[in-house]
Amino acid sequence: MGADLPYRRLASRRIDIGRTVLNIREEGEGPLMLFLHGITANSAVFAPLMADFSSRFRTVAVDQRGHGLSDKPQAGYEADDYAEDIAALIRTLDRGPAILIGHSLGSRNSVTAAARHPALVRSVVAIDFTPFIEPEVFDALEARVNAGDQAFESLEAVEAYLARRYPNIPEGAIRTRAASGYERGADGYRPLASPSAMAQTANGLRADLSPAYRAVTRPVLLVRGGESKLVSTDALAKTSALRPDMPVVVVPGADHYVNEVSPDVTSRAITNFIDA
């Protein structure tokens, strides 16, 4: 099932970065472009975008700690922990400075890494995560994340669950999430993402991100889904007031999962930004 899914063509390997062991999917040659996924997801979700850029860049998508096929330590799920993983991976790959493409959790981690390690980062595309997200939004996110720890009798059941959970994500992207993000166990198919890691990560997302946005000196593109329920128009406006130098792209019709719902528009926005 899912043999035709785009992520299956990518070379996958685990790499020891000193701090932990991460699973990466990669293709292409050239300067380094790293892709960092959102909470509960994994590197496979970026296969369509990687295809668009692998003729120009060494595109590397990462299963962040606690997710996918990467190691899942008992602790270490704050922004700085993830950011130091990014820095260690860039050093280990020895291809920096890197362009960082981050969605949601990956967006927060990318901006934090760029603020802490500007010499390792060329620029950041921050997709649908900003400072000033309202507490009630995080409450809803945390509830959804914690509800994901359940078993399913088949991958078809996983796909049906994900389609209800993410109603705007196309069928092919749902199939990718199911096939790449779940494994069969004694009681059925369960998420590869560690429940404990997800709970810690969701709580850590509440930390104030504005210091990182104030400190970052590398170019940052802000991308928001026009129908996002995570980044409100008010949160985006406050972020733009904090950093008016950062360009903004709002993708009409897309929700929080911009890069999966509208990969072509996302790809054009990235291209325009990095080629400017």
- Asked whether residue 1 is domain-assigned, the answer is no
Q: Is the pLDDT of residue 3 over 60?
A: no
- Asked whether residue 118 is domain-assigned, the answer is yes
- Asked whether residue 246 is domain-assigned, the answer is yes
Residues identified as active-site: 104, 128, 256
> Domain total for the chain?
1
- Asked whether residue 11 is domain-assigned, the answer is yes
Phi-psi map region of 76: left, alpha, beta (phi>0 left; psi -120 to 50 alpha): left
Range of the domain at 253: 6-275
Residues 149-179 pLDDT 10s:
999 999 999 999 999 999 999 999 999 999 9
* Six-digit token string for 47: 């296969």
Spatial distance between the Cα atoms of 68 and 92, rounded to a whole number of angstroms: 20
- Asked whether residue 258 is domain-assigned, the answer is yes
Residue type, position 11, single letter? A
Which residues contact residue 136 at a Cβ distance below 8 angstroms, ignoring those fewer than 6 apart? none
- Asked whether residue 89 is domain-assigned, the answer is yes
- Asked whether residue 176 is domain-assigned, the answer is yes
Spatial distance between the Cα atoms of 15 and 233, rounded to a whole number of angstroms: 39
- The reply to whether the predicted model has a pTM over 0.75 is yes
- Are 168 and 255 in contact by the 8 Å Cβ rule? The answer is yes
**CA distance to 51, 140, 144, 160, per residue, from 195 (Å):** 31, 17, 12, 20
CATH number at residue 92: 3.40.50.1820
pLDDT of residue 4: 82
- Asked whether residue 234 is domain-assigned, the answer is yes
Length of the chain: 276
User: How many Cα atoms within 13 Å fall on the side-chain side of residue 86?
Assistant: 38
Residues 194-220 pLDDT 10s:
999 999 999 999 999 999 999 999 999
- The torsion of the CA quartet 237, 239, 243, 246, rounded to 10 degrees, works out to -80
* Six-digit token string for 72: 């899942």
Backbone φ, ψ for residue 101 (5° rounding): -110, 110
